[in-house]
Amino acid sequence: MAQRNYVGGEWTEAGTGETFETVNPADPSETVAEYQQSDEDDAAEAVEAAAAAEDEWANTPAPQRGAILREAAGILADRKQELTEELTREEGKTHAEAGGEVQRTIDIFYYYAEKTRDLGGKVKSASAPQTNLYTVAEPVGVAGLITPWNYPIAIPAWKIAPALAAGNTLVIKPASLAPAPVVSIFEALDEAGLPEGVANLVTGPGSSVGDTISTHDEVDAVSFTGSGEVGQMVYDAATQAGKRAQTEMGGKNPTVVSSSADVEEAAEIVANGRFGVTGQACTACSRAIVHTDIYEEFVEAIVEEAESIEVGPGDEYDMGPQVGEGELEGTLEYIDVAEKEGARLVAGGERLEGDRFGEGYYVEPTVFADVENDYRIAQEEVFGPVLSVIEVDDFEEGLEVANDIPYGLSASIVTEDHTEAERFVDEIEAGVAKVNAKTTGLELHVPFGGFKESSSETWREQGDAGLEFYTIDKTVYDNF
């Protein structure tokens, strides 16, 4: 039986009467689930349900809204093992990675449940006597959410939870490659007693469902995470329709390896940042920018790291498959491009077939050395386990190369030189800067977002910033 949409508090079928299937990327012959192939009318119905519920939910005391989020978090926690297996089967992450993502989702719901106790506004001193001067943070209204497949439960959670906590209603369209985790969130919200119409789920194509969510008159704010090309279209459509919009998009994230770095430690940090979640993270390290004094030693060390990774189904191995055939083909194409450009292939580079791999979408952890920063492999986002190693003469050149890209999402440096670390933090053009740490991995209570083409550079996500996007201030002058 096909999974259904969730509209107006009911599990419903799409008006199209059509469905689509997802497959297990470790074994594409295995169908994971069937979902509604919705269209513009289905999306519009969901938006209208959210609009109808808007006033009642906004007027619900914030701690009561938080109680529902807290209950949903508990339900998700009780189902953690099931959700972990579900995520591995549909998206391909290893059990350890999937379990970590599910736990993050639980933590996000608990976090925003508690934040509802602090919502309100700020009291200011008035210039006139007998006057109260204060602000009130009000919900924006109806939020339209469009989410990707690579973190198919955590990213929806860090949009859904603050939107609901702040008193907004919402409609979400999850990525069609892995909708199951969002369905599970909605099952938890439904069981927790979320009033009808407050949150609505519609599966289907971005060209119809996503476009309707971005442009419908009743939608007040649009939050998108995904590719740069689609994100720009969503942002343009939403803002032209007069909506508040935030987009988080791609990255080409560097790790600068200083001459003072411990080479083995640096290689481990880069490998974890590049090959974790099969390289399918917008914050994944894509470029290792290495000082010439330790360059060859680092190349040897990173090759050893790459070759030590055991690839296979996520329930047993270190690195799972790519999510789909299109993503695998894209990665293999970039490998071919890099070799033609003149980069030196030092590890991996092949699709893995036979034995435990079957017809799964597996590729070897791949390392290219002697990459020039103007190569396509160094400038364009490769959403797979492919690392470019770039040699630089000094820290100044390393910083210049790190910034010489269209993106600015996450960046790190490995160094024992405190001055280099401080300069890196000050001068790197990225929304996330890390010292002696991998580019991936985010705390849920601090802002997240990018610079340049990685983001609309409007509002940040997560933490208090996540609430700011979903609220608008009203200033009150009370002359008593």
Mean pLDDT of 154-179: 98
% residues pLDDT > 70 (the chain): 100
Q: Which of 98, 282, 289, 389 is catalytic?
A: 282
Q: Grade residue 366 by pLDDT with cuts at 50, 70 and 90.
A: very high
pLDDT tens digits for range 66-90: 999 999 999 999 999 999 999 999 9
pLDDT tens digits for range 230-242: 999 999 999 999 9
As given in the structure block, the two tokens for residue 107 are: 């933590």
As given in the structure block, the two tokens for residue 92 are: 């391909």
User: Which pLDDT score is estimated for 96?
Assistant: 97
Q: How many angstroms separate the first and last alpha carbons of the chain? A: 62
CA distances from 468 to 217, 270, 374, 459 (A): 22, 33, 38, 8
| DSSP code per residue over 329-387 | HHHHHHHHHHHHHT-EEEE--SB--SGGGTT---B--EEEES--TTSHHHHS---SSEE
Burial readout 168-193 (b: 16 or more C-beta within 10 A, e: otherwise): bbbbbbbbbbbbbbbbbbbbbbbebe
> What CA dihedral angle connects 50, 56, 57 and 63, to 10 degrees?
-170
User: Which pLDDT score is estimated for 164?
Assistant: 98
Mean pLDDT of 449-453: 97
pLDDT tens digits for range 100-157: 999 999 999 999 999 999 998 899 999 999 999 999 999 999 999 999 999 999 999 9
CA distances from 227 to 151, 231, 233, 454 (A): 13, 6, 10, 9
Mean pLDDT of 147-170: 98
User: Which pLDDT score is estimated for 410?
Assistant: 98
User: Which pLDDT score is estimated for 355?
Assistant: 87
Using the predicted structure, report yes or no on whether residue 315 has a pLDDT greater than 90. Answer: no
Closest CA to 202 of 186, 221, 218: 186
Give yes or no: 285 in active site.
no
Using the predicted structure, report yes or no on whether residue 398 has a pLDDT greater than 90. Answer: yes
290: enclosing H helix or E strand: strand 285-291
Closest CA to 197 of 175, 220, 223, 164: 164
pTM value is 0.96
Which part of the chain is CATH 3.40.309.10? 253-435
User: Which pLDDT score is estimated for 1?
Assistant: 79
Order of all β-strands in the sheet with 285-291: 344-347, 366-369, 386-392, 285-291, 253-257, 410-414, 432-435
Using the predicted structure, report yes or no on whether residue 60 has a pLDDT greater than 90. Answer: yes
To the nearest whole number, what is the mean pLDDT of the chain?
97
User: Which pLDDT score is estimated for 431?
Assistant: 98
Using the predicted structure, report yes or no on whether residue 353 has a pLDDT greater than 90. Answer: yes
Mean pLDDT of 260-285: 98
User: Which pLDDT score is estimated for 95?
Assistant: 96
Which part of the chain is CATH 3.40.605.10? 5-249+455-479
Q: Grade residue 187 by pLDDT with cuts at 50, 70 and 90.
A: very high
What is the CB neighbour count within 10 angstroms for residue 71? 18
CATH topology of domain 253-435: Aldehyde Dehydrogenase; Chain A, domain 2 (3.40.309)
pLDDT tens digits for range 9-32: 999 999 999 999 999 999 999 999
Mean pLDDT of 277-304: 98
% residues pLDDT > 90 (the chain): 98
User: Which pLDDT score is estimated for 283?
Assistant: 97
User: Which pLDDT score is estimated for 273?
Assistant: 98
Architecture of domain 5-249+455-479: 3-Layer(aba) Sandwich (3.40)
Mean pLDDT of 358-382: 97
